[in-house]
């Protein structure tokens, strides 16, 4: 008879005076590997953190480790994303700092981070090499932590967890930011980890899972509900109400130029590492582009040039909104034309502002609200708060909300000024399927009014319908520019998205 590994009885969790979990019961037996799914914000992440001892809660939680196992008697929780620190132990980086020439002095290299981890947990450094290879991470060992994209940081945390092999491993959003090849290899690695005796708990709504996942649950009304299959979890994700888009977003943006961005033989390097090579690309007003590429292909760096954040843009031939970069415009002049959301921007955003203030800050391209809004602009914020269903949360601090709700807030911030260019870099990370569908419908409606779009996405089924053109990067080079207007091109898009899933 299987023995309980995790036994929870009458668990109660209160956070910021809000009851998150109530009299929750859950028993995980040896040999069981669970998927914890359901709608965004139902308490999944909080439950995982409680089991790992990262959040205090009342009730009975008993973890029974196997004394005969060689695996560490430990519960490890892998965050949906990881906040790294610099050499002085400080984590307060700013968004543009990732691209500055001084970054090498700020953080450890990947290799040094792994060496530190090996020393902390008494691991053999040679044992990590196969994991690095299978997740295509070997070439990044000399990179600084601050140079990594959010997807690459996710890989690093997965590498460390799979290397350690704790007796209980909880992973929040394991596939966030990973390309298709990495996802497949991760599932194989997770199966091998489970076979070695690790109990897995994955917090996810993804469809492609390790074959070792054999139990499924969600949280409904603050209690755990077990179901028979992952398909059964969908019934617990509520349909979102279709609302009319605010009137101020139903008009076309006012374009300052018919040329949004033009790049001529762009070259970006960090020392001997070349990140972008001979990039030639033009985006015209009203075009809708899909940007794809494997992890580390250069997508984030390419977008940082358009958004004005990369200092090496001055050393290249780059035109933004009709003006050559370096002709006297400031970074804030450029940002006035752009609405941006990306995992990295979310990562560095000041989460101590309220929901209302966070949305309003998009009017001024700041990371908080530092001025009194006139009544006419306050009305715009109120309209977006209502449209995104955030009325009850509008006075709450951003950092007290579930990750998916935080992302909706930043999406509202992105569109509030009806920008000429909308840059949506993995905009639906952290959202459940209904939220993703709802947001992409909003993107389609916005873009029907003439807005220019650059969209970095996941599966073909999770992309907006308005996309017209596609550019694909590989190892810093453009390997494909394609028009998606014909049926043949769209079929190619579907095949490509299924066989070459893009990410950060």
Q: What is the pTM of this model?
A: 0.83
Q: Are residues 222 and 322 in the same domain?
A: no
pLDDT of residue 405: 84
Q: What is the pLDDT of residues 189-245, one digit of tens each?
A: 999 999 999 999 999 988 889 999 999 999 999 999 999 998 888 887 777 777 888
Q: Are residues 47 and 171 in the same domain?
A: yes
pLDDT category of residue 103 using cuts at 50, 70 and 90? very low
Domain count, the chain: 2
pLDDT of residue 143: 84
Residue 254 lies in a domain: no
Q: Are residues 16 and 95 in the same domain?
A: yes
Q: Are residues 58 and 114 in the same domain?
A: yes
Is residue 225 within 8 Å of residue 34, measured between CB atoms?
Answer: no
Q: What CATH number did the domain enclosing 422 receive? A: 3.40.50.300
Residue 222 lies in a domain: yes
Residue 440 lies in a domain: yes
Residue 207 lies in a domain: yes
Q: How far is CA 119 from CA 73, 226, 403, in A?
A: 17, 39, 32
User: What is the full DSSP assignment across 370-390?
Assistant: -SPPPHHHHHHHHHHHHHTT-
Q: What is the pLDDT of residues 259-313, one digit of tens each?
A: 999 999 999 987 777 889 999 999 999 999 999 888 778 888 899 899 887 878 7
pLDDT category of residue 106 using cuts at 50, 70 and 90? low
Check residues 353 and 64 and name the one with the higher pLDDT. Answer: 64
Q: What is the pLDDT of residues 135-172, one digit of tens each?
A: 989 988 888 888 787 778 889 999 999 999 999 999 99
Q: Are residues 325 and 399 in the same domain?
A: yes
Per DSSP bridges, beta strands 34-37 and 199-203 are parallel
**Cα distance from N-terminal residue to C-terminal residue, the chain:** 44
pLDDT of residue 101: 45
pLDDT of residue 369: 67
* Buried b / exposed e along 96-131 (16+ C-beta atoms within 10 A): ebbbeeebeebbbbbeebbeebbeeeebeeeebeeb
Determine the structural domain holding residue 485 and report its residue range: 261-495
Of 220, 236, 252, the domain-final residue: 236
Q: Are residues 231 and 342 in the same domain?
A: no
Q: Are residues 333 and 434 in the same domain?
A: yes
Q: Are residues 342 and 438 in the same domain?
A: yes
Residue 502 lies in a domain: no
Residue 393 lies in a domain: yes
Of 236, 271, 302, the domain-final residue: 236
**What's the mean pLDDT in 314-320?**
86
Q: Are residues 338 and 428 in the same domain?
A: yes
Residue 251 lies in a domain: no
Q: Are residues 272 and 185 in the same domain?
A: no
Is the pLDDT score of 87 beyond 60? no
Q: What is the pLDDT of residues 4-48, one digit of tens each?
A: 999 999 999 998 778 999 999 999 999 999 999 988 788 999 999
**What's the mean pLDDT in 46-54?**
96
Residue 44 lies in a domain: yes
pLDDT of residue 16: 73
pLDDT of residue 199: 98
Q: Are residues 201 and 274 in the same domain?
A: no
pLDDT of residue 82: 64
pLDDT of residue 280: 95
pLDDT category of residue 490 using cuts at 50, 70 and 90? very low
**What's the mean pLDDT in 437-462?**
82
Q: How far is CA 40 from CA 17, 440, 452, 474, in A?
A: 20, 17, 29, 33
How many Å apart are CA 12 and CA 357, to the nearest integer?
Answer: 31
How many Å apart are CA 17 and CA 232, to the nearest integer?
Answer: 32
């Amino acid at each position: 008879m299987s023995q309980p590994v995790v036994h929870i009885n009458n668990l109660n969790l209160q956070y910021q005076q809000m009851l998150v979990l109530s009299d929750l019961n859950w028993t995980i037996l040896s040999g069981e590997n669970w998927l914890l799914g359901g709608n965004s914000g139902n308490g999944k992440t909080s439950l995982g953190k409680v089991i790992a001892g990262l959040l205090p809660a009342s009730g009975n939680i008993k973890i029974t480790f196997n004394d005969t196992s060689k695996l560490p008697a430990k519960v490890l929780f892998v965050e949906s994303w990881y906040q790294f620190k610099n050499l002085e132990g400080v984590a307060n980086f700013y968004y543009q700092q990732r691209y500055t020439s001084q970054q090498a002095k700020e953080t450890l290299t990947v290799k040094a981070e792994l060496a530190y981890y090996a020393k902390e947990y008494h691991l053999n450094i040679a044992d990590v090499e196969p994991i690095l290879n299978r997740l295509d991470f070997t070439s990044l060992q000399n990179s600084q932590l601050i140079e990594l994209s959010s997807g690459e940081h996710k890989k690093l945390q997965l590498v460390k967890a799979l290397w350690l092999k704790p007796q209980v491993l909880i992973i929040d959003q394991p596939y966030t930011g990973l390309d298709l090849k990495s996802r497949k290899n991760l599932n194989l690695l997770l199966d091998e980890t489970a076979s070695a005796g690790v109990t897995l708990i994955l917090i996810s709504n993804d469809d492609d899972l390790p074959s070792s996942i054999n139990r499924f649950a969600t949280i409904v009304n603050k209690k755990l509900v077990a179901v028979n299959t992952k398909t059964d979890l969908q019934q617990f994700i509520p349909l979102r109400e279709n609302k009319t888009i605010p009137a101020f977003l139903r008009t076309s943006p006012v374009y300052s130029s018919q040329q949004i961005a033009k790049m001529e033989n762009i070259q970006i390097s960090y020392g001997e590492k070349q990140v972008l090579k001979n990039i030639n690309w033009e985006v015209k007003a009203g075009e809708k582009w899909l940007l794809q590429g494997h992890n580390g292909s250069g997508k984030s760096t390419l977008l940082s040039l358009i958004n004005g954040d990369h200092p090496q843009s001055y050393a290249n031939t780059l035109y933004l909104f009709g003006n050559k970069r370096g002709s006297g415009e400031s970074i804030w002049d450029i940002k006035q034309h752009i609405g941006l959301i990306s995992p990295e921007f979310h990562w560095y955003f000041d989460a101590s502002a309220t929901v209302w203030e966070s949305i309003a800050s998009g009017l001024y391209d700041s990371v908080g609200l530092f001025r009194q809004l006139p009544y006419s602009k306050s009305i715009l914020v109120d309209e977006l708060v209502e449209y995104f269903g955030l009325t009850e949360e509008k006075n709450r601090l951003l950092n007290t909300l579930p990750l998916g709700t935080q992302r909706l807030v930043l999406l509202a911030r992105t569109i509030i000024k009806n920008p000429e260019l909308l840059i949506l870099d993995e905009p639906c990370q952290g959202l459940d399927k209904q939220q993703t569908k709802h947001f992409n419908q909003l993107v389609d409606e916005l873009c029907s009014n003439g807005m220019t779009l650059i969209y970095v996405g996941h599966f073909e089924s999770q992309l907006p319908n308005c996309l017209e053109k596609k550019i694909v990067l590989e190892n810093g080079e453009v390997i494909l520019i394609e028009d998606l207007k014909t049926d043949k091109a769209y079929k190619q898009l579907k095949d490509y998205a299924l066989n070459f899933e893009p990410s950060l």
